[in-house]
Amino acid sequence: MYRALRRVPAETAHEIALRLIRAAGAVPGGPGALRRVLGPRDPALRVRAFGLNFPGPLGLAAGFDKDARGVAALGALGFGFVEVGTLTARAQPGNPKPRLFRLMDDRAIVNRMGFNNEGAAAAAARLRHRPRDVITGVNIGKTKAVPDEEAVADYVASARAVAGVADYVVVNVSSPNTPGLRDLQATTRLSPLLSAVRDVLDRAGGVPLLVKIAPDLADEGVDAIADLAVSLGLDGIIATNTTISRDGLVSPPAEVAAAGAGGLSGPPLRDRSLAVLRRLSTRAGDRLTLVAAGGIETPADAWERLAAGATLVQAYTGFVYGGPFWPRRINAGLAARARSLGLDSVSLAGSRAGIERRV
């Protein structure tokens, strides 16, 4: 079935896959049974972040379950946490189809979905009934129809809607598919936005707040956001979102051109995402929790991010190409790597890397 999905258009395949996952989760006792077989049960995988105990460091990135429909089943497949969204304050259809494309030779995806979702309030209503043993983050973005001068109020509306049902909230200012969104990464615009959302979440009991940044930022921009996140008391940064670059692809140029504009995810993003992570770690790694995303496909990729300063890692494209048993393979590889290095926990990967660099 999974291989057959590759023969249908990418967005159709995604919708079918999510329905199948949801169906498995709807079977009485299904999520529990799946979790016993596929879940991260090895003690070496346990990680603590944001005051929460994660059963494993591997999470599902935002974009797969936009409307929070499959949290229970996705959590049972082996992910230590699930991030839903991106959600906007108002429901919106997203960009015209087709808007999701595979670049098979690169094991990559191009998307220009445009934050298609039913709105933050609708997702929040579903999340009120989610299993509490699945750590769930909520990723929020700007409604396309909202003018730039009202962006802060728009994000605040989403934050208020989800504050009571999210284990953490992510402000997404880095998708390339909403016009003008990445302009919000400028610190003069980002500071009032994050401050306003932080205030909402503090009033809701101190829900952890992160910001997700683009890999296409200049190094100085990465430093500026790191400094801003520290000064505002944010809990962490996700590095990184998709890229608008098409450098280094092996897919035929005609195929790349046919996919068109949008964010590129998958292995071609690996090096730049890792470089951004390392810069963040050097700049503010002891004061922020760093979540790595972008090009994570193998246990070695995930371990490299943990060693570079990430506490948690996220994936989307690796899961799409790897299939339903992919999270279990990543978790098994991480636990084995930790033990081969004499570490009791993957959370010590960064410490070990520091020792190896000094030697």
pLDDT in tens, 315-348: 999 999 999 999 999 999 999 999 999 999 999 9
Residue 340 bears catalytic tag: no
Whether the Cβ atoms of residue 312 and residue 59 lie closer than 8 Å to each other: yes
Provide the token pair at 153: 């109020």
Residue ranges making up the domain that contains 228: 2-358
Residues 178-230: tens digit of each pLDDT:
777 677 777 788 899 999 999 999 999 999 999 999 999 899 999 999 999 99
Give the pLDDT score at 24.
76
Compute the distance between CA of residue 14 and CA of residue 100 in angstroms, rounded to an integer.
9
Catalytic residue among 174, 175, 251, 265: 175
Percent with pLDDT over 70 in the chain: 95
Residues 154-169: tens digit of each pLDDT:
999 999 999 999 999 9
Cα torsion for 138, 139, 145, 150, to the nearest 10°? 90
Give the pLDDT score at 354.
41
**Residues of the chain by 3-state class (helix, strand, coil), percent to 5:** 45, 15, 35
CATH label of the domain that carries residue 184: 3.20.20.70
Q: 106 in helix, strand or coil?
A: helix
Provide the token pair at 18: 């999510």
Check whether 2 has a pLDDT greater than 80: no
Compute the distance between CA of residue 282 and CA of residue 305 in angstroms, rounded to an integer.
13
Provide the token pair at 173: 């200012």
Give the pLDDT score at 356.
46
Q: How confident is the model at residue 5 (pLDDT cuts 50, 70, 90)?
A: low
Provide the token pair at 285: 């790694």
The better pLDDT of the pair 85, 139 is held by 139
Q: Which residues, at least 6 apart from 86, have a Cβ–Cβ distance to it below 8 Å?
A: 62, 63, 66, 115, 117, 139, 140, 141, 172, 175
Check whether 352 has a pLDDT greater than 60: no
Q: What is the mean pLDDT of residues 36-52?
A: 90
Check whether 358 has a pLDDT greater than 50: no
* Tokens 């503010």 sit on residue: 284
Q: Does pTM surpass 0.85?
A: yes
- Count up the domains in the chain and report the number: 1
Residues 64-114: tens digit of each pLDDT:
999 999 998 899 899 999 999 899 999 999 999 999 999 999 999 999 999
DSSP letter string, 295-359: S--SHHHHHHHHHTT-SEEEESHHHHHH-TTHHHHHHHHHHHHHHHTT-S-GGGHHHHHHHHHH-
